[in-house]
Amino acid sequence: MDIGKNILELKKQLPETVSLVAVSKTKPNEDILAAYEVGQRIFGENKVQDLTRKYEELPKDIEWHFIGHPQTNKVKYIASFVGLIHGVDSLKLLKIIDKEAEKNQRKIRCLLQFHIARESTKFGLDEPEADGILSSDEFKDLKHVQVAGVMGMATYTDDHDQIRNEFRTLRNIFTSLKNKYFSDTNTFCEISMGMSDDYPIAVEEGSTMIRVGSKIFGERNY
Ligand SMILES: *Cc1c(COP(=O)(O)O)cnc(C)c1O
């Protein structure tokens, strides 16, 4: 695997408006540094313990994203440095992130995760549930979380039309929420969609942020 080359190839294909999260979960520091060497600065992890260890061991100008659904009792370990949490799907979690962010005197950016895939195993909100959160007084009281957009995962399938439809659904949810709750601010701006197998479709459908792992670092051995 030539990690540096993979990053550069990917970047060449992406419009400037789309950022690349290099998903480094399960991968060693040396692989991350190979990506860092060619200029990659955003990395994504989905385990709190790995994220905190890598944060401590690797260069401090890396922007670390948590790309899953953090356990509520572990948010405190990443609250001082995490750049974006992609997988938020409840008011309860937002409140905990807010509390931990306040302790660190910062604001944490989060994305609401939506269930757009056909597989029932993938979790996330639907639009009415998001309405419930965003219109609540409890949400409006949170001063240390910033809901910066939406995130979703398409069904794992060869059916490109289906994948495209699911990404389109997510973009429509984004537009609808932006009009309803964030029309007077630029901070609600991210649509995190697209992984190794489906990022070209996601980019065509308006992704602003793709999360790519195996296409950069090779297959993962769990
Ligand atoms: C692992 C993971 C990715 C990257 O998956 P690849 O198929 O290896 O690109 C993206 N998003 C999330 C939420 C993940 O857990």
pLDDT confidence of residue 1:
76
pLDDT confidence of residue 118:
82
**How many domains does the chain fold into?**
1
CATH number at residue 26: 3.20.20.10
Sign of CA dihedral 30, 35, 37, 40: negative
Q: What is the mean pLDDT of residues 160-188?
A: 97
Tens-digit pLDDT profile for residues 69-105: 899 999 999 999 999 999 999 999 999 999 999 999 9
| Residue 125 DSSP label | B
**Candidate of 47, 119, 211 to mutate for ligand 1, largest count of ligand atoms within 8 Å of Cβ:** 211
**pLDDT classification of 121: cutoffs 50, 70, 90:** low
Q: Tell me if 197 is assigned to some domain.
A: yes
51 pLDDT higher than 90: yes
**pLDDT classification of 182: cutoffs 50, 70, 90:** very high
Tens-digit pLDDT profile for residues 202-220: 999 999 999 999 999 999 8
**pLDDT classification of 37: cutoffs 50, 70, 90:** very high
Q: How far apart are CA 177 and CA 147, in angstroms?
A: 11
CB of residue 196 inside a 6 A radius of ligand 1? yes
CA of 138 to the centre of ligand 1 (A): 32
Tell me if the pTM is above 0.85: yes
Query: What is the atom index within ligand 1 of the atom nearest the CA of 46?
Result: 15
Q: Of 80, 43, 82, which Cα lies nearest the Cα of 209? A: 43
What is the C-alpha end-to-end distance of the chain, expressed in Å? 18
Radius of gyration in angstroms for the set of CA atoms belonging to the chain, rounded to a whole number: 17
Q: What is the mean pLDDT of residues 18-30?
A: 97
Q: Tell me if 222 is assigned to some domain.
A: no
Give the domain extent around 75: 3-217
Q: Tell me if 32 is assigned to some domain.
A: yes
